[in-house]
Structures are given as C-alpha cells and as structure tokens.
Chains A and B, each alone.
Chain A
Amino acid sequence: MSELAEKILKGNLRSIGRAISIIENDECNREQLIDEIFPHTGRAVVWGITGAPGSGKSTLLDGFIADLRAQNRTAAVIAVDPSSPFTGGALLGDRLRMQRHATDPGVFIRSMASRGHLGGIATATADAIKILDAAGYDLIVVETIGVGQAEIEVVELADIVVLVLVPGTGDEIQAMKAGVMEIGDIFIINKKDLDGALKLKTEVEYVLHLKSNNNESEMNPVLLTSATRSEGLLETLRAIDDYLSRMQADGRLATRRQQRIENEVRKIVNAKIRLMAEKHLQIDQKIKQWAQQIGKQKQAPYALINSQLNQLLKDS
C-alpha cells in the first residue's frame, strides 16, 4: 500500500486534502489510490443536500454539524459550487457559513468546483466520498451547487437526499413537476418565518400524499426550519436518522448502494470505451470526416454512421 493511502486510513488531514486534489486533477496515481482504499469504504453514511441557490443549504449544514458533534459523530462535507464556463475560475463560498468548525478535528470541509460537470456535483465527487469514507468520518455530506429543476445527479451518490425548499417559489404545480422534486427523501422548508412557509408545507405534503397513495407510513417527512435561528434542526436530524433506519430495515438502503455501484461501474466503463475508441480507432478524426460528408455532401447521417462503425468493428 502506498504511503499516501496509509496516511489517509490514519485520518491525516494533509493526505486527505492531497488525495482529493489528485482525484480532481485526474493525476496518474488516481486509480491506484482508489483501489487501495476501496476495501476500507462502505462504513460512512452519505447524505446529499440540495436546493436552490440561497435556500440555506450551507447554513443548515453548519447547524447540523454542531448537533452531530454534540452527539459525538464526525462529519465530512464536500461543498460543490459552479466553475465559470468562461474563465474556469470559481468562488467557493459555502465553507464560509461553516467556518466555526474549521479547527474541530471531527469535521473536514472541502470546497469543490464543478469544473464543467453538469448535474449539480463534480466529476471528482464520487471518488472524494470514498477517500473521506476510508479516512473514517461517520457521515459524509455532499452539498450540491444551487440547483434549478433538473440537476439531480446527487441521488446517484447519496444514501439519502435532503431537499431544501424556501417559500415564495411557486405553487403546488411546481412541486408536482419532474426532476429535483422527485429525488427528495427528506423535505426541508427553510426560512419558516417567511410568509408562505406553512402554505408551501401543505402543498408539498399534498403532492407527497399523491405520491404515496395516502399511505402515511410511506410519506416522506416534511420539516420546517430556520437555519439562521437554529430552529427545527434537531427534529430534522431525528427525521433523517429515522428515515435511514427505515431504509436499512426494509432493504432500500442496500438496493440503493448496489445501484450506486452499478452506476459508477457503467460510467467508468463508458469513459474507458471512449478513450479506447480514440486511442485505437482515432474516432475523433473520423467524426470530423463524417461530419464533412454529412454537412457538405448531404449524405444520410444514420446510414453513413452505421456503415462506417460496422466497418471499423470488422477491421479492428
């Protein structure tokens, strides 16, 4: 085992920080490192926390961490913020809200820029979770970028998804739409002191009733919080823990985790196939040729692509 992997397993902060950069930069020892630490993963619980920009995700998390630490649980946070599509730069400001935990040895916070990845998280997030898991944190929280309606990739990484909503963002039809509303396990209505918070809670519960066919025991919890006043946080924490126990008892957690592995394997294989296609078949150059034929000579696109690909497979 490499020295770096050994230090990660011992919880060395410098090594954990370095390892996440190795993943983010896709440095040459990334795959070996993940393989080394993988046998030591699977112990941590992974939350995803998602919601619109400014809904209070980081501030809620700051409060949750304080309560978790009071229960002697350790926590690591991966806070994702967007990279600029123009300059590649990013201003990572989530940890600002959690900075009171900076010197707590039971808390690790890492800001992560999305680096062009869509879906609310970064390409490196999945492997960064593994590093933090192997380092021994009890709970790992992935805070997504501020999302709109469709950035739902966090559901592929998390054991449980906490969706943060705020009043004043539309009626129950918004809550019935496809996308982000469908991935929540726990619904938080934050900024509960604002007008419309109770109305929103009723509307979300109405939609969740429809989803669960009025079966109370299957209903997703909906909680009111005020992150800045630290109200409703302990109740929410309890609801999350209860929900996770239920998921564990009825087998949903195990199914979800297996599904997560399958998704990851599929992604890795797809990426490798693409690399192989480029390396062995110079596919990129051929795509340019085919595009010429299709664009300039108006050749039928599907017929051309199908016959060319078949030819390539035969030749290789």
Chain B
Amino acid sequence: MAKKIRILIAKPGLDGHDRGAKYIARALKDAGYEVIYTGIRQTPEAIVKTAIQEDVDFVGLSLLSGAHNELFPRVVELLRENQADDIIVFGGGVIPESDIPGLKEKGLAAIFTPGTSIKAVIDFIESCRSKIEN
C-alpha cells in the first residue's frame, strides 16, 4: 500500500484571506491526502511546531500580504533548526515572478502563483513521493 501523505496547509502573516488556502486544502483532501489546516495568522514558530507534532510530509504556505520573502524562508530555517528539514515546504499566493528564484534558493521546493491548476500541485506532490518513502 502506498504511504498516506500528510500535508499541513498554513497561513503565516497577517492577511486574513484564506479562500485560496481552504480551496487547496479541500482539493488535496479530494485527491486522497490527509490535510491539516491551521487557520489564519500563524507565526512561523507555530507552523513549525504544528508540522512536527502532526509529522507531515509537506508544509504548504499561503500568503497574500507580501511578506513571503521573510516568512517563507523563516519556516524552512526553523524546520532545519528542529531537525525536521526532511519536511518539504512549498508556497502559494500573490508572489511576483522575480521573487521565485530567491525563495527556491532559500529552500522552498515550489511556488504556485494564482491561476495554477490543482493538477500541477498534485503532480508536484507525487513527484516527491519516492523521496518521502525512503
């Protein structure tokens, strides 16, 4: 049997727009994953503690406020400090194309901008499956 993949969908920062986060959480549930949703306005510390307690394989961060260049890498950094850098972090939201290379350099595995199909997200998750199962 294939391993059950667990994904944390988290909203760091101060914006309260969680339609996108809820949409992706629901869609990933429908794709057969176990999805945990944190709700809005989470600190990177709370997200990392949650990811560890829930022992997730992925953390998906959603942010529309513009603070992604600070908050996304901070989550990656804290995971590393907690010996949890095997957890794969991806991001989504209103993120300028020009910021994406910098974020990937800082350990974000993928960035999904508005208009991304849910299939692209699922393909990304499945492309990591062999890495997770080892």
How far apart are the CA atoms of A49 and B86 in the complex, in Å? Answer: 34
What B residues does A18 contact at CB under 8 A? Answer: 55
Q: Mark A90-118, 1 if CB is under 8 A from B, else 0.
A: 11110110010011000011110101000
Do residues B34 and A89 form an inter-chain contact, with CB atoms below 8 A? yes
Q: Mark A133-149, 1 if CB is under 8 A from B, else 0.
A: 00000000000000000
Q: Assuming A88-B4, A91-B37, is B50 touching A102 (CB within 8 A)?
A: yes
Do residues B54 and A110 form an inter-chain contact, with CB atoms below 8 A? yes
Query: Chain B nearest CB: distance from A91 CB in Å?
Result: 4
Q: CB of A226 within 8 A of chain B?
A: no
Do residues B34 and A109 form an inter-chain contact, with CB atoms below 8 A? no
Query: Chain A nearest CB: distance from B111 CB in Å?
Result: 23
Interface residues of chain B: helix, strand, loop or mixed (majority): mixed
Chain B residue with Cβ nearest A105: B49
How far apart are the CA atoms of A243 and B48 in the complex, in Å? Answer: 37
Number of residues from A at the complex interface, CB < 8 A = 29
What A residues does B109 contact at CB under 8 A? Answer: none
Query: Chain B nearest CB: distance from A11 CB in Å?
Result: 12
Do residues B52 and A88 form an inter-chain contact, with CB atoms below 8 A? no
Q: Mark B4-39, 1 if CB is under 8 A from A, else 0.
A: 101000000000000000000110111111111111
Do residues A91 and B55 form an inter-chain contact, with CB atoms below 8 A? no
How far apart are the CA atoms of A87 and B33 in the complex, in Å? Answer: 8
Do residues B37 and A14 form an inter-chain contact, with CB atoms below 8 A? no
Q: Assuming A14-B52, A110-B54, is B46 touching A92 (CB within 8 A)?
A: no
Listed stretches A19-27, A162-170, A190-198, A265-273; interface member: A19-27
Interface residues of A in 1-54 (CB under 8 A from B): 13-14, 16-18, 20-21, 24-25
Query: Chain A nearest CB: distance from B51 CB in Å?
Result: 9
Do residues A92 and B37 form an inter-chain contact, with CB atoms below 8 A? yes
Q: Assuming A88-B32, A91-B35, is B4 touching A103 (CB within 8 A)?
A: no
How far apart are the CA atoms of A16 and B3 in the complex, in Å? Answer: 19
Do residues B37 and A13 form an inter-chain contact, with CB atoms below 8 A? no
Bin chain B's interface residue count.
Answer: 20 to 34
The total of Cβ contacts below 8 Å across the A-B interface reads 84
Q: Assuming A17-B54, A17-B55, A21-B55, is B37 touching A93 (CB within 8 A)?
A: yes
Which of A25, A90, A108 sits near B35, CB closer than 8 Å?
Answer: A90
Chain A residue with Cβ nearest B4: A25
How far apart are the CA atoms of A18 and B6 in the complex, in Å? Answer: 12
Q: Assuming A16-B53, A90-B35, A115-B4, is B30 touching A103 (CB within 8 A)?
A: no
Do residues B3 and A89 form an inter-chain contact, with CB atoms below 8 A? no
How far apart are the CA atoms of A15 and B39 in the complex, in Å? Answer: 25
What A residues does B53 contact at CB under 8 A? Answer: 13, 16-17, 108-110
Do residues B34 and A90 form an inter-chain contact, with CB atoms below 8 A? yes
Query: Chain B nearest CB: distance from A101 CB in Å?
Result: 9
Q: CB of A84 within 8 A of chain B?
A: yes
Most buried by A among B31, B55, B83: B55
Most buried by B among A16, A92, A96: A92
Do residues A95 and B38 form an inter-chain contact, with CB atoms below 8 A? yes
What B residues does A110 contact at CB under 8 A? Answer: 53-54
What B residues does A108 contact at CB under 8 A? Answer: 53
Which of B29, B32, B36, B82 sits near A95, CB closer than 8 Å?
Answer: B36
Q: CB of B126 within 8 A of chain A?
A: no
What A residues does B4 contact at CB under 8 A? Answer: 24-25, 88, 113, 115
6 A-B residue pairs with Cβ-Cβ distance under 8 Å, sorted by A, are A17-B54, A87-B29, A87-B32, A89-B28, A102-B42, A109-B50
Other than the given A89-B34, A102-B38, 7 more pairs (CB < 8 A) read A17-B55, A21-B55, A25-B4, A87-B32, A89-B29, A95-B36, A99-B42
Q: List the 8 closest A-B pairs by CB distance, nearest first.
A: A17-B55, A102-B46, A89-B29, A87-B32, A91-B29, A96-B39, A89-B32, A21-B55
